[in-house]
Amino acid sequence: MLVPLALLSLGAIFAGVYFYDAFVDGNNETFWAGAIYRAAENHVLHDRHNVPEWVLYAPLVVTIAGFLIATFTYYFNRGVGKRVADSGGPLHSLFYNKWYFDEIYQATFVKGSAMLGNLFWKADKKIIDGIGPDGVVAVTKASAGRLSKMHTGYLYHYAFVIIGAALVFGGILWLRAGGAN
Amino acid sequence: MGGFPILSAMTFLPLAGALIIMIVRAATAGSREASSSDTEGRTALLAGLIISGATFIASLAAFAAFDASQSGYQLVEQYSWYRNISYKMGIDGLSITLILLTTFLIPICLLASWNSIHKRVTEYVVAFLVLETFIIGVFTAMDLVLFYIFFEAGLIPMFLIIGIWGGKDKIYAAFKFFLYTLIGSLLMLVAVVYMYQTAGGSDFEILEKYAFDPNVQTWLWLAFMASFAVKLPMWPVHTWLPDAHVQAPTAGSVLLAGILLKMGGYGFLRFSLPMFPDASQLFQPFMFALAVIAIVYTSLVAWRQTDMKKLIAYSSVAHMGFVTLGVFAFNEAGVQGAIFQMLSHGLISGALFLIVGVVYDRMHTREIAAYGGLVHRMPVYATFFMLFTMANVGLPGTSGFIGEILTMVGGFQASTWAAAGAALGVIFSAVYMLTLYRRTVFGQITNPELNSIKDMNMIEWICIAPLAFLTILFGVAPNLIFNITEGSALRILNLMAGG
């Protein structure tokens, strides 16, 4: 493992020395040969030369600071890291839990989608089926139940319905024919 | 015209086979007591396999005679029937693709029933063969009345397959399936009658050239849509599908998802776009909205399911949403993508129902919670399951990817928002399919009954391996299909543009 790591470290440290011109400056346009398109009005590659000097040095400073802190914590003062972790401060918790991204995703996207899924599933059963096929069947069944109660078997009930229907039907015809006019 | 009527032969071969099986059964009724009902069932299944195999060969012969460079109807057969209604058959790239899918899946359905169907096996085989005739008839008919007859007749055998060989709530599911589809189709019948009266015939080629009044088109389009939306199915008329799938036997589910749903997409492409172009344009935003709702809504519902079949059924509704999106994009990418998606979904969803059937036959439960750790006992099964899971998610290299990406490209050209909404479905499909796979296949075995479960047998291999092969083949070489369907897709778009 030491040899691959050493090789990778060399590449990580020195690759820029050899490839900077080919990839970034100098003859980079020859290297990319249009593989990465840049619009004529886009001057981002030129503009990066005009950033404040502290921006250029910031990555180097942060890297060195990180290196020094790590060396101090894990090489010269072993146990400091554990003590910081055990103190359980909010900063440690925030980083330990990866900025709580997983928990935020879980609470919003995952639980939200699950809630919607359950809601839609209930909508399928209660609303779509309830109004649709199940509802139609229920209404038909209830109507049939009520209508069947009219089948009493008494002749005068049937005669009443026949006469009533004849009166309604006759009334409609009479009105259509012009009524009293 | 002229020559051997290959389309009629292909269409009615299964029906003739079904009749022969029934006649032989009636003729041997006396001697049947001597042989066991199991032997009789096996013989019927074998006969069904031979007949459906011969039908597949006939469809390959029709395909061999089909010239993909031509865009119009081919191998046309026409016989006068009644007045301007004729028995007219023909195929184009769209129909031959779906015919091949049908004739390919039916023998697989029958073979998959070899060990799982034990009662009334002869009638079961007959129902499948009769249904095959009606489905092929739907895709070969070139007369609207003839199409309608085949379209409606197919309801009966499917109703019986669910109602007789289904699960615990089979009667509820069968009636729900029947009522939904029948109500939609009755509205279509009214439109069919009107079109026949107005255009002076029911020949597709007459109707395609007849310019219906734009106001009338709206009503005709809605009437046809009522039928095709139920068949596809589209939200919110989709609720018959999960029940039908859960209750149907495995082969019935394969047939439902693999072929019957495609009749809806076929109908939109065959009738709505070329015959009612103005109305189709008018309703494009409406159809996009329904497609996106179907994709997102049913994907989320699929994720919450505890029954494997129900999950795949809801996933089918979502995947057919991509078909709607592609069809109503009104561009080549969309229409080609929709046709491809229908074919791809036929293979993938058919395979997924077979995959569920494999463990259901052993455990007699479809509850996801009853499984877990299957990979330890069924490595081959886990491999096939993973392939179709990935294909259903739309992984590049599988046919699922081609269908989804093309319908989205087509949809994007027509509406950025619709394509963006559909893209959500791709994410959700990964959520519910990977969840299903993890919960059933990975992890430790917690159900002691799974300790003795056996891996796939030879019959299951024969059923599932060809589907896996085609899923990858069409994913790697989609031009095999596009070369067949391109002419039809362009012709439909040309007719829509008034050409």
Q: How does residue B32 score in pLDDT terms, banded at 50, 70 and 90?
A: low
pLDDT for the residue B35: 60
The predicted pLDDT at position A149 comes to 86
- Residue in A with minimal Cα distance to B428: A113
Which pLDDT belongs to residue A107? Answer: 94
A66: contact with B, CB 8 A cutoff: no
Q: A37 and A21 share a domain?
A: yes
Q: Which residue has the tokens 């249904």?
A: B131
Q: Which A residues in the span 99-118 are in contact with B, Cβ-Cβ below 8 Å?
A: 113-114, 116-118
Does some domain include residue B480? yes
Q: What is the pLDDT of residue B31?
A: 67
Whether A14 and chain B come into contact, CB under 8 Å, resolves to no
Q: Enumerate the residues of chain A whose CB falls inside 8 A of the CB of residue B179.
A: 133, 136
Q: Environment class of residue A118 by beta-carbon count within 10 Å: exposed (0-12), middle (13-18) or buried (19+)?
A: middle
Calculate mean pLDDT across residues A157-169.
93
| Minimal CA separation from A129 to chain B, in Å | 7
Bridge partners, residue B77, by sequence: B89
CB-based contact A114 B240, cutoff 8 Å: no
Q: Is there a single domain that holds both residue A108 and residue A141?
A: yes
Question: Contact B301/A128, CB-based, under 8 Å?
Answer: no
Provide the pLDDT confidence category of residue B30 given band limits of 50, 70 and 90: low
Stretch B271-290: mean pLDDT, rounded? Answer: 96
Residue A33 predicted with pLDDT over 80: yes
Q: Using CB atoms, pick whichever of A120, A129, A132 lies closest to residue B297.
A: A120
Q: Which residue of A has its CA nearest to B297?
A: A120
Which of B239, B300, B428 is opposite residue A132, by nearest beta carbon? B239
ipTM of the complex: 0.87
More confident residue, A14 or A151: A14
Contact A113 B176 (CB under 8 A): no
pLDDT in tens, B433-458: 999 999 999 999 989 999 999 999 99
In this predicted structure, the answer to whether residue A96 has a pLDDT above a threshold of 90 is no
User: Which has the minimum average pLDDT: B30-34, B344-348, B365-369?
Assistant: B30-34
Q: Provide the domain limits for residue A7.
A: 1-50
Instruction: Please report residues of B whose CB lies closer than 8 A to that of A120.
Output: 297-298, 300-301
Chain B positions touching A125 (Cβ under 8 A) are 239
Are A181 and A164 found together in one domain? Answer: yes
Contact B236 A121 (CB under 8 A): no
Task: Kindly determine whether residue B240 and residue A133, on different chains, have CB atoms separated by under 8 Å.
Answer: yes
Which residues of chain A have a CB within 8 Å of the CB of B297?
120
User: Is there a domain that residue B154 lies in?
Assistant: no
Which residue, among B175, B182, B297, would best test binding to A if mutated, counting the most A CBs under 10 Å from its CB? B297
Tell me what the mean pLDDT of segment B186-211 comes to: 93
Q: How many CA atoms lie within 13 A of B495 on its CB side?
A: 24
Do both A106 and A138 map to the same domain? Answer: yes
Residue B265 inside a domain? The answer is: no
Task: With a cut of 80, say whether residue B389 has pLDDT above it.
Answer: yes
Structural domains of chain A, count:
4
Q: Choosing among B175, B246, B292, B300, which should be mutated to test the A contact, i.e. which has the most A CBs within 10 A?
A: B300
Helix (H, G, I), strand (E, B) or coil at A132: coil
Q: How far apart are CA B274 and CA B220, in angstroms?
A: 13
Identify the helix (H) or strand (E) that includes residue A76.
none
What percent of chain B has pLDDT above 90?
89
For A73-87, B212-226, B462-476, which range has the lowest pLDDT when averaged over its residues?
Answer: A73-87
Q: Which residues pair with B79 in a beta bridge?
A: B87
Same domain, A89 and A106: no
Whether the pLDDT of residue B1 is over 60: the answer is no
CB-based contact A93:A103 (threshold 8 Å): no
- In angstroms, what separates the C-alpha of A107 from chain B's closest C-alpha? 16
Residue A98 to chain B, least CA–CA distance (Å):
23
**In the predicted structure, residue A8 carries a pLDDT above the cut 60:** yes
3-state class (DSSP) for residue A147: helix
Q: What is the mean pLDDT of residues B346-359?
A: 96
Q: Which of B216, B201, B228 lies closest to B146 in space, CA to CA?
A: B201
List the single residue in B239, B298, B304 with the smallest CB-CB distance to A129.
Answer: B239
Give B41-86 pLDDT, tens digit per residue.
Answer: 889 999 999 999 999 999 999 999 999 998 889 999 999 988 888 9
Quick check: B304 and A133 CB within 8 A?
A: no
In this prediction, residue B34 has a pLDDT band, given cuts at 50, 70 and 90, of low
CB contact under 8 A, B236 and A128: yes
CA separation for the pair B317, B433 (Å, rounded): 14
> Is A133 in contact with B303 (Cβ distance < 8 A)?
no
Q: How confident is the model at residue B33 (pLDDT cuts 50, 70, 90)?
A: low
Cα distance between residue B409 and residue B406, in whole Å: 5
Residues of A in contact with B180 (CB under 8 A): 132-133
Q: Do residues B346 and B259 lie in contact, with contact meaning Cβ atoms separated by under 8 Å?
A: yes
Q: Which helix (H) or strand (E) holds A163?
A: helix A155-176
Amino acid at B440: T
pLDDT over threshold 90, residue B286 = yes
Q: Region B343-351: what's the mean pLDDT?
A: 97
Count of structural domains within chain B: 1
Contacts of A122 in chain B (CB under 8 A): none
Whether B240 and A113 lie within 8 Å, measured CB to CB: no
Q: What is the mean pLDDT of residues A83-89?
A: 82
Q: Which residues of A touch B428 (CB under 8 A)?
A: 113
Reference B85, options B12, B1, B11, B146; nearest CA is B146
Among B238, B303, B434, most A C-beta atoms within 10 A, so best to mutate, is B303
Cβ-based contacts of A140 with chain B (< 8 Å) = none
Question: How does residue B36 score in pLDDT terms, banded at 50, 70 and 90?
Answer: low
- In this complex, do A114 and B304 lie within 8 Å of one another by their Cβ atoms? yes
Q: CB distance B300–A133 less than 8 Å?
A: no
* Residue range A19-32, pLDDT digits in tens: 888 887 777 778 88
Is residue B422 within 8 Å of residue B295, measured between CB atoms? yes
pLDDT in tens, B125-165: 999 999 999 999 999 999 999 999 999 999 999 999 999 99
Which region among A21-30, A90-99, B14-23, B28-37 has the lowest average model confidence (pLDDT)? Answer: B28-37
**Residue B191 — very low, low, confident or very high, per pLDDT cuts 50/70/90?**
very high
Print the domain residue range for B305.
283-499
**Using a CB-CB distance cutoff of 8 angstroms, which residues of chain B are in contact with residue A130?**
none
Please give the share of chain B, as a percent, with pLDDT higher than 70. Answer: 98
First to last CA, chain B: 25
- Judged by CB atoms closer than 8 Å, whether chains meet at B300 and A128 is answered as no
Q: What is the 3-state secondary structure (H, E, C) of chain B?
A: CCCCCHHHHHHHHHHHHHHHHHHHHHHCCHHHHCCCHHHHHHHHHHHHHHHHHHHHHHHHHHHHHCCCCCCCCEEEEEEEEECCEEEEEEECHHHHHHHHHHHHHHHHHHHHCCCCCCCCHHHHHHHHHHHHHHHHHHHHECEHHHHHHHHHHCHHHHHHHHHHHCCCCHHHHHHHHHHHHHHHHHHHHHHHHHHHHHHCCCEHHHHHHCCCCHHHHHHHHHHHHHHHHHHCCCCCCCCHHHHHHHHCCHHHHHHHHHHHCHHHHHHHHHHHHHHCHHHHHHCHHHHHHHHHHHHHHHHHHHHCCCEHHHHHHHHHHHHHHHHHHHHCCCCHHHHHHHHHHHHHHHHHHHHHHHHHHHHHHHHCCCEHHHCCCHHHHCHHHHHHHHHHHHHHHCCCCCHHHHHHHHHHHHHHHHCHHHHHHHHHHHHHHHHHHHHHHHHHHCCCCCCHHHHHCCCCCHHHHHHHHHHHHHHHHHHHCCHHHHHHHHHHHHHHHHHHCCC
> What pLDDT was estimated at residue A38?
77
**Whether pLDDT at B382 is above 80:** yes
Contacts of B437 (CB under 8 A, 6+ apart): B385, B386, B389
pLDDT tens, B95-104? Answer: 999 999 999 9
B304, A121: Cβ pair inside 8 Å? yes
Asked if pLDDT for residue A49 goes beyond 90, the answer is no
